[in-house]
């Protein structure tokens, strides 16, 4: 079996484990888990915070209102979601969309997210929102990371606000769209 085939199989097995996972309390509040969309051949990765109501219902990441806005800014910057492996810090929806707790984040990332990153081995990872930025880069806020490429543990990252944030802070839409313009220009250099 080739390395690529083996990695593809491992990624699929990881998704199967996520779908039946009961390792943290979030399994009690989910309808279905949301492992992520994409494959080991995805060049880039997007990591958000956790599934929302529509994601919890369908099993796919970023399919609700914030997903539609993500598609809009990707298209506006000349990109498409098929260019990315898209997933979240936690794979099960927290009750009432609350921010995931530290133990839930630790359990889910150590069992799943970091293995997904290893298997996809993306050229660039886009972090959406404070939860992803804090967990993956150890920064205090999105502001510390946006507008530049951050190198950490041999990988490259860029960050912007979570698309959902523009629904309660209208002023962030302009910053998110500007950040995606920058992200596009940096991803072009990776092609
Ligand atoms: S959030 Fe992650 S660790 Fe928790 S039950 Fe779901 S898949 Fe398992």
Per-residue pLDDT tens for 44-58? 999 999 999 999 999
How far does the centroid of ligand 1 lie from the alpha carbon of residue 77, in Å? 33
131 lines ligand 1 (CB under 6 A): no
Alpha carbons 61 and 35: distance in angstroms, whole number: 8
Give the CA count within 13 Å in the CB-facing half-sphere of 167: 10
Q: How far is the CA of 177 from the centre of ligand 1 (A)?
A: 31
What is the distance in A from the centroid of ligand 1 to the CA of 108? 5
Q: Is 132 in the pocket of ligand 1 (CB under 6 A)?
A: no
112 pLDDT more than 90: yes
Q: Whose CA is nearest to atom 6 of ligand 1?
A: 92
134: which 2 tokens? Answer: 């804090």
- Grade residue 3 by pLDDT with cuts at 50, 70 and 90: confident
Is the shortest distance between the CB of 155 and ligand 1 below 6 Å? no
At residue 169, the pLDDT reads: 87
- Structural domains present in the chain: 3-190 (3.40.470.10)
pLDDT in tens, 69-102: 999 999 998 898 999 999 999 999 999 999 999 9
């Amino acid at each position: 079996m080739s390395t690529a085939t083996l990695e593809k199989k491992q990624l699929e097995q990881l998704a199967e484990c996520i779908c039946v996972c009961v390792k943290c309390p979030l399994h009690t509040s989910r309808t279905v888990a949301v492992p992520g969309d994409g494959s080991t051949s995805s060049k880039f990765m997007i990591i958000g915070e956790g599934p929302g109501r529509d994601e919890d219902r369908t099993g796919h990441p970023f399919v609700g209102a914030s997903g539609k806005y993500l598609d809009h800014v990707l298209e506006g910057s000349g990109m498409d979601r098929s260019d990315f492996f898209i997933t979240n810090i936690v794979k099960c929806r927290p009750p009432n969309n609350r921010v995931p707790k530290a133990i839930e984040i630790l359990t889910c990332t150590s069992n799943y997210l970091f293995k997904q990153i290893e298997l996809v081995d993306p050229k660039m990872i886009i972090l959406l929102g404070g939860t992803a930025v804090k967990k993956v880069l150890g920064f205090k806020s999105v502001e510390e990371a946006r507008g530049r490429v951050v190198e950490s543990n041999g990988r490259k990252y860029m960050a912007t606000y979570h698309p959902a944030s523009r629904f309660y802070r209208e002023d962030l839409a302009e910053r998110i769209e500007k950040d995606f313009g920058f992200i596009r220009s940096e991803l072009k250099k990776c092609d």
